[in-house]
Amino acid sequence: MDSKVKDILEWVYCIVIAIVLALLFRYFIGTPTIVKQVSMKPTLIQDQRLWLNRWVRTTKKMPNRGDIITFEAPSNKGYSVNEIDQSNPIAKYDNEPTNIFKKFTYYVLEWGKDSYIKRVIGLPGEHVEIKDGKVYINGEVLQEDYLQEGIVTDAGISGFDDFIVPENYVFAMGDNRNHSTDCRAFGCIPLEKIESKVWIRIWPLDLWGKVE
């Protein structure tokens, strides 16, 4: 084999290996992201850079209350008054990719895939109530010091506001309650759709540190 051809093949081989390792790291370990919406103000602001811990997805570990997570956006972003079923408060995922290539591009390359950043509020088996502008967990008012003063939590006319979080699901909301499309609108998120936990704010540098 010509030495030049051999050198080219070796470079191609190294590049392919590097790409595969990068994709594996990004999917299973962690990856950076940019805040694009206002739903997590004042905790997270648009254009801030974050580092996401994806090891929680790899180990399928249930998050804790208060954790800020990212998850795959459901196919149905909201229900009508007649469609709300408080006895079955789960998000719908009806547009799952069907073949291996589509699954790879959707889940690994994340082409055409939308994700949300929200804070975990309710855990499996807990009774969540939204009333009087507050959140109640098993009958007790949830203390939410991360909210801006004066923020009122309202489920709206067609939102989930009195339910039990199903097993292996979580209930999550944005900190900017009046400008957040979250589980109040579309229901609880299954554990397998949680992609990562927000770990560190890496930009701007003066706010660098662990996100809570």
> Domain ranges in the chain?
33-210
Per annotation, catalytic residue among 3, 4, 36, 39: 39
In the predicted model, residues of the chain with pLDDT beneath 50 are: none
Distance CA 108, CA 91 (A): 22
pLDDT of residue 8: 80
b or e along 104-142 (b: 16 or more beta carbons within 10 Å of the residue's beta carbon)? eebeeeeeeeebbbbbbbbbeebebbbeeeebbbeeeeb
Residues 6+ apart with CB under 8 A from 131: 161, 162
Structure tokens at 126: 């807990």
CB atoms under 10 Å from CB of 80, counted, come to 8
Q: How far is CA 37 from CA 71, 87, 113, 128, 211, in A?
A: 14, 30, 16, 25, 17
Catalytic status, residue 158 = no
CB atoms under 10 Å from CB of 145, counted, come to 5
pTM comes to 0.91
pLDDT of residue 1: 60
Catalytic status, residue 36 = no
Give the Cα-Cα-Cα angle 114, 159, 86 (nearest 5 degrees): 105
Q: Is the backbone peptide bond immediately before 204 cis, with ω within 30 degrees of 0?
A: yes
CB atoms under 10 Å from CB of 181, counted, come to 16
Q: Is 57 exposed, middle or buried (0-12, 13-18, 19+ CB in 10 A)?
A: buried
Q: How far is CA 71 from CA 6, 68, 168, in A?
A: 44, 10, 14
pLDDT of residue 7: 72
Which CATH code is given to the segment(s) 33-210? 2.10.109.10
Per annotation, catalytic residue among 41, 118, 193, 197: 118
What pLDDT, in 10s, does the model give residues 128-137? 999 999 999 9
pLDDT of residue 116: 97
Distance CA 30, CA 47 (A): 19
